Amino acid sequence: MNIRKIYMLFLGLIFAVVGLNIYLANTYEDATRRLSIVPQFTLTDMHGKTVTLNDYKGKRVLISFGYTNCIDICPVTLATLSNILYDIQEQNPDSKHDYQALFITVDPERDTPAVLKNYITDTFHPNITGLTGTVDQIKHATESFNITFEKYGQTNDGHYSMVHSVYIFAIDEDGDYKTYFAHTAPPKTSLQILKKHFKGF
């Protein structure tokens, strides 16, 4: 095999890897579908403090929605957020940027600050905070992210689950919405998506 062939093979391999990464990122991310998002909320954090999105200005914020009685998607989403936060720390320990993840409940009737604190603390990354509020506050918050939620499968003995959005939203340090992606995106793909939108990762 001559040098030229080896060179072409090498180039082809690079294109294939880059192409695959772009394909994966596009599979999990579709920022253009939700351009109208102007995120805002006034909620109560898991320590009982009233917070708005403004309070997180200066930090890069990842936001997901779920509830603690969800036994499948929500813990996986929190694990994804944990992985992202740990991976950023490991890849860039001297980063000048602070990263914060917020888990906003869609089940405010059951998810009090204490319930969220028990669910998240000592299990997931310490920079993940749970937020709750009144039903109206949660509705207002979800509407600002252009998502919906509802009770589902209520039994006659009062048990129910929630139908809800499973996306992770990325907000920059100025409080501006940047993108959203699927909770199932592998850690590497999640980081690649975030790197596109957060300069100076």
Partner 1 sequence: MMNNKAKGLTMKIIGLAWACGAVFMAFLSPVMAGGMMVTDARVRSVNVQHNHTTGAFMVIANHTGKNDILLSAKTPMADRTEIHKTTITNGMAKMENQAGGIPIGSGKKLVLKHGSYHVMMMGVKSNITVGQSVPITLVFKNAGAVKINATGFKINHQKHHHKSHQHK
141 lies in the binding site for partner 1 (CB under 8 A):
no
Q: Which is nearer to partner 1, 81 or 175 (CB)?
A: 81
Q: Does 177 bind partner 1 (CB under 8 A)?
A: no
Backbone angles phi, psi at 43, to 5 degrees: -140, 180
Other Cβ atoms less than 10 A from the Cβ of 161: the count is 16
Q: In what order do the strands lie in the sheet with 98-105?
A: 50-52, 42-45, 128-132, 98-105, 59-66, 167-171, 177-182
4-12, 13-21, 111-119, 133-141 -> range binding partner 1 (CB under 8 A): 111-119
**Are 66 and 176 a contacting pair, CB within 8 Å?**
no
What is the smallest separation between the CB atom of 165 and partner 1, expressed in angstroms? 6
In angstroms, the CA 132 to CA 43 distance is 6
Query: Nearer Cβ to partner 1, position 61 or 81?
Result: 81
Using CB under 8 A as the binding rule, whether residue 51 contacts partner 1 is answered as no
- Does 167 participate in binding partner 1 (rule CB under 8 A)? yes
- β-pairing, 128-132 with 42-45? antiparallel
- Binding positions for partner 1, rule: CB under 8 A: 68-73, 75-76, 78-79, 82-83, 86, 114-115, 118-119, 122-125, 147-148, 152-153, 155, 157, 159, 161, 163-167, 182, 184
